[in-house]
Structure 1
C-alpha cells in the first residue's frame, strides 16, 4: 500500500520517496517529512509543536501546516482565505476524519463556527515518485462565503537550509527560458494574470539546495512540481524568519473571488509534485513519464509528421493553392496536412471573420470537402486551425451578440490583433461553440485541430452576471474545458493541439485535452534549442510540436533546421512550393529518418547531454525504456572564442553492462564506456548530427 496510517499520522510512500504529516499536540495538521523513503515507518519524525512563547513568535506561526488557513497567530502566506457573510474573516480548521482507498488519501477539516468544510486529497503515483494534491471547499453552514484564496497545495522543504528556485520565464517568441533564484527571507511570487497560462511564466517549479549542496543535471536533491491549470495561477515561494521554506501553488487570488452559497462546493485544480536524488534530469523524466502515461488523451498515439500552410500562404488560402501544397507535402512523406488561418467566412485578413466558423464561400464555393478529399487521396490526414474563444468586431457573431465579449459598461473595448475575447463563462457561448464546431467536425473528415488563442485579456467584466464577476477568471477556464471536453467526447479520434501565440497555454491542464502543444511562434532553430530545453524541464517531447521552416534559411542548413525540429513532434512550415527539388528530396530523407527514430523521441527517456544556454555545443539523448536503443542529437551554434573543433560527448541512461554500437564509430563498447569515456565529435558552425545507438 502506498498510503500508511500510523499513530503519528500518515505516510505516503512511492518507489523511492516518502511524504509524511500528522496531527500535533495542538490539533494542527502539520508536515513531517519529504525525501528519500526510510526503511521503517517508525523512522519518520513525529508531528512537531513549537514551545516558543517569545513575543511576536507563537507556536501556530512556527507550525508547518499542511494547509494553512488565514487566522489566529499565523502571519505567513496562507493557503486559504475566506470571508463569511456573518462578518468572520478568519478560519480555524480542526481535523475531523481520514479515508484511504488504495492510492488515494482524503482528510476532512472543519471550521465549526462558520460551517466551512475543507477536504484535502492526496493521490500517490508510486512508479513515478509523484503525489497529486487538490482541495475541495464546501459551505456546510447557513451563511454565504466569499472565497478569496484557495491554493491546491502547500509544499514544505527540509528546514534550516537555503534553497534555489528554478522556474521558466519568457515572452512571446522567447518562451521557456530557464531562470534560477536563490531564495532569501520573504516571498518570491511568479504568476499569470492574463486569463491564460501566459508566455511570461509557466506553473512549474524545481527547488534544490543553494551553494555546496546544489543539484546538477544528473545528481542531487530536487523537489519539483507543477499545476494542471490553464488560466490565472500563482506560486509563492516563501522563506520565513525561522528559515522554513514553503511553496504554495494554485489559482491566482489577484482579482479573484468565488461565492459559496450554503451547500455549495468548490474544487481546485490538481497540483503535482515529487522528489528525486537524480538531479534535474531525474525530475524531468518523472514528469514526462507521468504525462505520457496518465495525462494526455491518446496514450499510444503515433504523432504524425505534419505540414502547416501558415507561413506559405498566410490568409490567402483556396482550394487550388492548398492542393498544390498538399501534393508536394505528400511526395516528401508528410502524414498530416493542416490548413491554418484564413479558411472561414469573411476571413481575408486578421480584421474580420473570427467567430464565424464555416467555410468562406468565395474561397471554397463547394465547402471544404473537395480539399479534404484531395488531401485524403494523397494518403494524408487533414487538419484545421481554429481560434474559438475570439471574435472580430467585423463578424456576424459580434454583430448579433456584442454582449458576449468581456467588457465593462461604458468602457472602450480594447482590441488586440483586431479581436476581442468571448466570455466562455457563459453557457450560451459554450453551447454556441460546441454546436458550431461539432457541425464542422461532423461534416468533414478532420483528424487534427490546432486551437489558438492570440491575445491577453482586457476589460475583464461580465455585466450580466448575477454573482461576483471576479469568478470569470475560473469560469472561463471551466467553460473552455467543457467545450473542448464535449467535442473530444463526440469526436474521440481527433487529435487536438493547444496553442496561444506559441507557448502561451502549454500546461498540464491542457494536456488532459490536447495531445501536443505549439510551444513558440519562434522557429529560429538556434533560439529554439534554448526554448526546447526549458520546455523539456517539465513536459515530454511527445507533446512538443516543432517546425522546420524558412526562418533563417540563409544561415542554417535544411538539415540543421530539421534536426532541431526532430527533437519533438516534427512539423514543416516553410513555403515548400518555393523549395528547389534538391531541398524537397533532402526533406524526404530527413522525414524518413525521423519516422525511424520518433518512437525513441516520443516514448523514450530524455537525457540532456549539454546545455545550449551554457555552451556553443549542445546535445540531447532519447533512450528506450528497455535501454535497447537510443538516439543522440548534437548541435553546434556560434563560433567559440577559441579554435576548438572537436567536443567529447558522454552518453547517459545506457545499461552499463550491455554492449552498444554508436553510428559513425567502429566497434562496440560497454554502456559504461560510452557513458564514462564517450566519443569525440567534430562539428562546424551551425552543423548538427543525429546518431543511433544500438545494443548488441
Structure 2
C-alpha cells in the first residue's frame, strides 16, 4: 500500500512508484522527518544523529537528554516555541499575547483517495484506489490547539502532496501569525536552489545558485502569486543537470501571496519550506474555528531536473486541471486586443472574424472594450452590461453572426476590479479594498473589489451570469491587472484575514461559475502571467503565459514556465512584427514554431493587415498545429538547450510510448561562416529507427541521442526548424 504505519517502531512510510517518504513519531511525541528520495525499504532512522552539541541548543522541558534538541533534528512540522530556532511553519499567539506552542502526535488515520480542502483547490483522484491519504493529528494541550497534517499519495503520478488544517479546540482565542504547508529537512548535502523570477512581460526566468549559510527566500506580497516570482521551487544536487542528479520540487496550489525559503543552519543542514506569505497575515481563530493551509505538490527525481518537470506536468494536467476541457483539444483562436485595442465596433470585429474563419481559426475572442462606456482603461470596470451602441447590435446577435462563420465566440472580463468612474463604484464605494481616511493607491487607474465579502461576490456572479446567459459564449478570458495594496475590508476588524479571505472568495466565485457553465473554456490571465500557478489551473485549464508575445522573449518565458507547469495550460500566440512591446522583428515561421510550444495556440494581430502571401502560411501553421497538438500537450518535454545560455534554443516533445517526437530549434546567434549546430535528442526508443516525416530520411535513435542532428549551416538570425519523427515499426 502507498501508506504504511509500523505500530512497533512508529514509522510512517509513503511510497510512490519510484520514491519513498518516511517520518517517525519519536518517544516524546514529536514527528521527525527521516527520508525523501529514491524508493527503498527499511527504517531510515539511522540517518538522524544525536549528540551533545552545546548548551545553546534547547530541548523540551520533559526531555532530560542533552543529545536531544529540535534545533538540530530534522522535523516534519517545525513550529515556533519548540526550541528550534530555524524558520518555522507555524507561529501562534495566544489570548494573552504570548507566542509559542508545543504540538505532539496524538494519532493518525489512513484512507483511500485524495483528501480535499474546503474552499481551496487541491490535487484530486478519479478513483479511490489510485491514491491514499494520511491525516496526522498533533495537539497542544495548553492551548487546545489541534493541527491536522494532510498527506496525499498518487503512486503512479510519483507525487506526494501536503496541506494542513489548524483548529482552535480550546476555550480562548488564538491568532495564527505564520502558516506554511510543507518543509523538507536535509541532514546534509551540497545543494542548489532554483527559483523563477521576472516582471510584467518577462516572467519566470530560471535563477539557480548554491545554498549557503543563512536563509534565502522568494515570494509575493502583491495579493497574487505574481509576475515577479513563481510559487514553484526546485532544490537539487549542485552537480545535477537536466538529465542527471537528484532533485526535489515544491509547487504551491495557491494564487495569493506566498513565501518559499531555503536555509542552511549551523550544522550544514538545509530546510526547504513553502506556504502563505507573512505579509499582512494575522489570522484569529475563536474557539471552534479553523484555518486551512493550501496544498504543496512535492516530487523527487534521481534522473535530473527534467524528470521533475515531467512529473509536475502530468500531475497538474491530469489531477489539478479538471472538467470538460481538461483532455480536449483547445480551439485555435484570434484575440482582438493587439489587433484593435479599444478601437472597434461590431462591423470591424466581424471583418476580423471573417478573415479568421477563412484561415481556419476556430475561436474569436472579443477582448477589452465591449461593455458599458469602456473606450479606454480608466472607466466602467464593474459595470458588466453590453455596449450595444458600440457594437451596433446585441451581444447575442454578434455571437450568432460569428458562429455563422464557423467560429466559437469568447469574451474578456476583469471581474475583480472596479473603476472609480463606474456606476457600481458610485453606488457601492464601500465595496472596494481601501483604507479609511487614506486616498487609495490606484493600479492601472482601478481599484480592487473586496471579494472576501459574500455580497460583492453575489453581485459579480449575477452580473456575469447576465452576460453569459444572453449569448452563445464558449470562452471567457479572466483578467486581473493590478496588485492589492490597501488590504482593508469594512466587514471585519481583523484585517490580517483579508488577503487570505480574498483569495478564498475568488475561488468561490470561479467555482460557482464553472459549475453553472461547465462547457465554457475559462482562461486565466493576470497582466499575462501574474497568476500562473497550480491554484488557478484548478479552475482555468489554460492561462495566458505573458503579455509579451515577442517570440525571442517568449523562448525564455516559456522555457522557465516549463520547469513547473505543463505545456497544455500555456497560452501562446503569434503576434505582429515589429512587436508592440519591444519593436523586434522575427520571421512568421519562427513566431509560429514558438507559439506551437504551448497547448493554447492562436493569433494576436490584425489579420487583415497581413500581406496576402502570409495567409497560406498561416493556414499551414494551423494545419501543422492540429497534427502535433497531442504530442505537445500529452507528450514528455525535453529541454535540449537554454535560450539564456546557448546559441540555439531547442526542445523536444515525445509521446510516452516513444512512438512520435517533435524537435524544434531556434537559432539565437549567427556568425560568419559559422560552425554547425548539433542538437542531441532524448526520450526515443533505444535501438529503434525514426523517420523524419518532412524529408522521409530514417535515422537510428541511438545516434540521434548520442551525436545528435545537425541544423542547417550559415542560416539567418531567428531561423527555426521543426522536425517530426515517427518510429519505424518492424
Matched, 1:277 2:302: yes
Partner of 2:682: 652
The one of 474, 484, 493 equivalent to 2:500 is: 474
Matches within 5 A, 1:435-514: 435-462=462-489, 464-514=490-540
Matched, 1:136 2:165: yes
Shift of 1:380: 1.2
CA distance in 2, matches of 1:43, 1:415: 57
CA distance in 2, matches of 1:581, 1:435: 45
Matches within 5 A, 1:55-204: 55-58=55-58, 59-102=69-112, 103-157=132-186, 159-204=187-232
Distance change >3 Å, CA 449–CA 416, structure 1 → 2: same
Partner of 2:718: 686
The one of 614, 618, 624 equivalent to 2:655 is: 624
Q: Which sections of structure 1, spanning at least 5 residues, go unmatched?
A: none
The one of 363, 367, 372 equivalent to 2:394 is: 367
The one of 526, 537, 550 equivalent to 1:524 is: 550
Check the 8 A contact 1:231/1:477 in 2, yes or no: yes
Check the 8 A contact 1:523/1:551 in 2, yes or no: no
Name the SS for the 2:433 alignment partner: coil
Partner of 2:431: 404
Matches within 5 A, 1:669-684: 669-682=699-712, 683-684=715-716
**Could you give the per-residue CA deviations for residues 430-458 of structure 1, whole angstroms, max 9, x where no partner exists?**
10111111121122111111111111122
**Could you give the per-residue CA deviations for residues 7-34 of structure 1, whole angstroms, max 9, x where no partner exists?**
2411111111101000123321010111
Matches within 5 A, 1:245-324: 245-297=270-322, 298-324=325-351
Shift of 1:50: 2.8
Distance change >3 Å, CA 681–CA 49, structure 1 → 2: closer
The 10-residue stretch of structure 1 (72-81 or 661-670) with the greater mean CA deviation from structure 2:
661-670
**Could you give the per-residue CA deviations for residues 199-246 of structure 1, whole angstroms, max 9, x where no partner exists?**
110010111122xxx110111111112101100101111111111101
Check the 8 A contact 2:666/2:718 in 1, yes or no: yes
Shift of 1:316: 1.6
Partner of 2:631: 600
Partner of 2:611: 580
CA distance in 1, matches of 2:676, 2:397: 53
Matched, 1:428 2:455: yes
Shift of 1:111: 0.2
CA distance in 2, matches of 1:187, 1:451: 36
Partner of 1:326: 353
Matches within 5 A, 1:346-365: 346-365=373-392
Name the SS for the 1:290 alignment partner: helix
CA distance in 1, matches of 2:615, 2:384: 34
Shift of 1:125: 1.5
Shift of 1:90: 0.7
CA distance in 2, matches of 1:88, 1:652: 57
Partner of 1:17: 19
CA distance in 2, matches of 1:496, 1:473: 23
CA distance in 1, matches of 2:72, 2:158: 28
Shift of 1:72: 3.3
The 10-residue stretch of structure 1 (319-328 or 651-660) with the greater mean CA deviation from structure 2:
651-660
Normalised TM-score (structure 1): 0.97
Shift of 1:663: 3.6
CA distance in 2, matches of 1:515, 1:317: 29
CA distance in 2, matches of 1:43, 1:172: 48
Distance change >3 Å, CA 461–CA 224, structure 1 → 2: same
Check the 8 A contact 1:407/1:459 in 2, yes or no: yes
Check the 8 A contact 2:548/2:554 in 1, yes or no: yes
Check the 8 A contact 1:650/1:677 in 2, yes or no: yes
- Number of residue equivalences: 688
Shift of 1:680: 1.2
CA distance in 2, matches of 1:49, 1:419: 56
Shift of 1:43: 4.7
**Could you give the per-residue CA deviations for residues 459-515 of structure 1, whole angstroms, max 9, x where no partner exists?**
2222x2233112111011100000011000000001111111111011000000001
Name the SS for the 1:136 alignment partner: strand
CA distance in 2, matches of 1:630, 1:293: 21
CA distance in 1, matches of 2:637, 2:577: 27
**Could you give the per-residue CA deviations for residues 288-325 of structure 1, whole angstroms, max 9, x where no partner exists?**
00011101123312111110000111112211010000
The 10-residue stretch of structure 1 (131-140 or 120-129) with the greater mean CA deviation from structure 2:
120-129
Name the SS for the 2:508 alignment partner: helix
Matched, 1:34 2:64: no
Distance change >3 Å, CA 21–CA 669, structure 1 → 2: same
Partner of 2:52: 52
Normalised TM-score (structure 2): 0.92
CA distance in 2, matches of 1:34, 1:116: 28
CA distance in 2, matches of 1:47, 1:672: 40
Name the SS for the 1:362 alignment partner: helix
Check the 8 A contact 2:335/2:367 in 1, yes or no: yes
CA distance in 2, matches of 1:302, 1:86: 57
Matched, 1:215 2:233: no
Shift of 1:686: 1.1
**Could you give the per-residue CA deviations for residues 102-134 of structure 1, whole angstroms, max 9, x where no partner exists?**
311110000011100000001012112211000
CA distance in 2, matches of 1:277, 1:618: 25
CA distance in 1, matches of 2:400, 2:610: 25
CA distance in 1, matches of 2:133, 2:31: 18
Shift of 1:284: 0.3
The one of 354, 366, 389 equivalent to 1:339 is: 366
Partner of 2:418: 391
Check the 8 A contact 2:686/2:701 in 1, yes or no: yes
CA distance in 2, matches of 1:643, 1:200: 40
Matched, 1:635 2:666: yes
Output the aligned Cα RMSD.
Answer: 1.5
CA distance in 2, matches of 1:413, 1:529: 38
CA distance in 2, matches of 1:43, 1:301: 44
**Could you give the per-residue CA deviations for residues 61-119 of structure 1, whole angstroms, max 9, x where no partner exists?**
11211001100322110110111114442110110001111311110000011100000
The 10-residue stretch of structure 1 (24-33 or 257-266) with the greater mean CA deviation from structure 2:
24-33
CA distance in 1, matches of 2:82, 2:666: 57
Check the 8 A contact 1:24/1:49 in 2, yes or no: no
The 10-residue stretch of structure 1 (326-335 or 609-618) with the greater mean CA deviation from structure 2:
609-618
The 10-residue stretch of structure 1 (469-478 or 545-554) with the greater mean CA deviation from structure 2:
545-554
CA distance in 2, matches of 1:88, 1:478: 29
CA distance in 2, matches of 1:453, 1:12: 39
Shift of 1:366: 3.1
The one of 535, 546, 558 equivalent to 2:572 is: 546
Check the 8 A contact 2:218/2:259 in 1, yes or no: yes
Partner of 1:3: 3
Matched, 1:562 2:572: no
